[in-house]
Amino acid sequence: MTFLSKTLARVKPSPTVAITQLARELAEGGKDVIGLAAGEPDFDTPENIKAAAVAAIAAGKTKYTAPDGIPELKKAICAKFLRENELSYQSSQVSVSTGGKQVLYNAFMATLNPGDEVVIPAPYWVSYPDMVLLGGGTPVVVETSIDTGFKLTPEALEAAITPQTKWFLFNSPSNPTGAGYTWDELKALTDVLMRHPHVWVMSDDMYEHLAYDGFKFCSPAQVEPGLYDRTLTCNGVSKAYAMTGWRIGYAAGPEPLIAAMRKVQSQSTTNPCSISQWAAVEALNGPQDFLATRCEAFLARRDLVVAMLNDAAGITCPVPEGAFYVYPSIAGCLGKTSAGGALIDSDQAFVTALLEETGVAVVHGAAFGLSPHFRVSYATSESILTEACSRIQKFCAGLK
């Protein structure tokens, strides 16, 4: 349709829509569907955070705020970066947006020109390449593999950088693999970036607090202070504080970039919800001990899912360092036919047959740029996960 913009034509519809739609149709038709596709914690938002929002409403904090965040929240964000990441920022270097997604979107809109390249390791969060396209840039996808724990090697990063590279987009722990870079692994990447002063770093630290087995989270500007002046450190309250619906994300970086992002936001959405901002102040300044308790629950779920999937014929499931996803390979299932008669010639065929024949909804690896895999979100109860993994085992045992 010629009425629609050429920019939008460059963007593909969300690859997860088809599988989500099929799951919905099957559930409506009475099938017992187990959804392991959603990327959000099943836990509730902590009570003290909800109470802060209620108090904000009662106090009439229900009007427009400064476009990129109230001073109290910016102060809480600066304190968080210093306390948890050894990063020192002033409020003028902080931007608050409607979710972590808008932070990244604003940054791309504020900086990309036609021809600008953004290096994105695959598998990646589904929105990264399309946000780059919407901003008019060119995504340069660099595949990793199960053999490197889905982590980018310094050699692959070096090879992907050209004179047109504007950003390197870094995400650890990762959606969809859960892979987390150690200090040394990240230092090897930042060493490469130090040799290319024209490349900026966008670090998406959304899953920082979801890390297991003593894994120590670190962020690029922390590991290499020499990158501080060209790094945008992005984060949000959605995953750690179980606040996906509240829509608060934030970033800190050089003032001119933050000012440009403010301009994008002030001419599009204006401020993020005033009430959610006050809730986020409480999330960041309030008690943090519940994070460890929730991580213990996630760790038990991760171990359960990894063990059960590795017992399924044809599936290899690595143990990830963080987030609440696993990203098993189905290489051993390709070329086979399911008990229901479906030829498994791709990860899309695998997840479609799995859903139709067992009712378990997962997302195929092609959606995240690396096949043949699928992503399981284990942010649900152990009893549901046990049932889902038993069904996957049975499905795989039936492949001939």
Secondary structure E strands in the chain: 34-35, 94-97, 117-122, 138-143, 165-171, 200-204, 231-236, 249-252, 325-326, 360-361, 363-364, 374-377
Q: Considering only 98-106, 257-265, 333-341, 383-391, which stretch makes contact with ligand PLP by CB under 6 A?
A: 98-106
Helix (H, G, I), strand (E, B) or coil at 242: coil
Q: Considering only 97-105, 185-193, 294-302, 343-351, which stretch makes contact with ligand PLP by CB under 6 A?
A: 97-105
Structure tokens at 213: 């087995």
Identify which of residues 67 and 236 has a Cβ nearer to ligand PLP in the complex.
Answer: 236
Which candidate, 111, 152, 148, places its Cα nearest to that of 132? 111
Residues 51-90 that bind ligand PLP (CB under 6 A): none
If binding is defined by CB under 6 A, does position 224 make contact with ligand PLP?
Answer: no
Q: Considering only 141-149, 236-244, 338-346, 388-396, which stretch makes contact with ligand PLP by CB under 6 A?
A: 236-244
Number of H helices, E strands in the chain: 14, 12
Structure tokens at 179: 């892979």
Structure tokens at 17: 């829509």
If binding is defined by CB under 6 A, does position 203 make contact with ligand PLP?
Answer: no
Distance in Å, CB of 246 to ligand PLP, minimum: 9
Q: Considering only 26-34, 76-84, 96-104, 135-143, which stretch makes contact with ligand PLP by CB under 6 A?
A: 96-104
Indicate which single residue of 16, 33, 39, 232 sits in contact with ligand PLP (rule: CB under 6 A): 39
What is the pattern of x (binds ligand PLP, CB under 6 A) and - over residues 321-360? ----------------------------------------
How many residues bind ligand PLP (CB under 6 A)? The answer is 13
Write down the H helix ranges in 326-367: 347-358
> Strand 249-252 and strand 231-236: pairing?
antiparallel
Identify which of residues 244 and 393 has a Cβ nearer to ligand PLP in the complex.
Answer: 244
If binding is defined by CB under 6 A, does position 236 make contact with ligand PLP?
Answer: yes
Look at the block and give the residue holding tokens 């945008």: 232
The full DSSP string for 112-167 is --TT-EEEEEES--THHHHHHHHTT-EEEEEE--GGGTT---HHHHHHH--TTEEE
Residues 148-187 that bind ligand PLP (CB under 6 A): 171, 175
Identify which of residues 125 and 200 has a Cβ nearer to ligand PLP in the complex.
Answer: 125
Q: Considering only 2-10, 99-107, 115-123, 343-351, which stretch makes contact with ligand PLP by CB under 6 A?
A: 99-107
Residues 248-287 that bind ligand PLP (CB under 6 A): 249
How far apart are alpha carbons 35 and 20 in whole angstroms? 9
Cβ-Cβ contacts under 8 Å for 208 (sequence gap 6 or more): 84, 173, 217, 219, 235, 240
Q: Which residues sit at the interface with ligand PLP, rule CB under 6 A?
A: 39, 99-101, 125, 171, 175, 204, 206, 236, 238, 244, 249
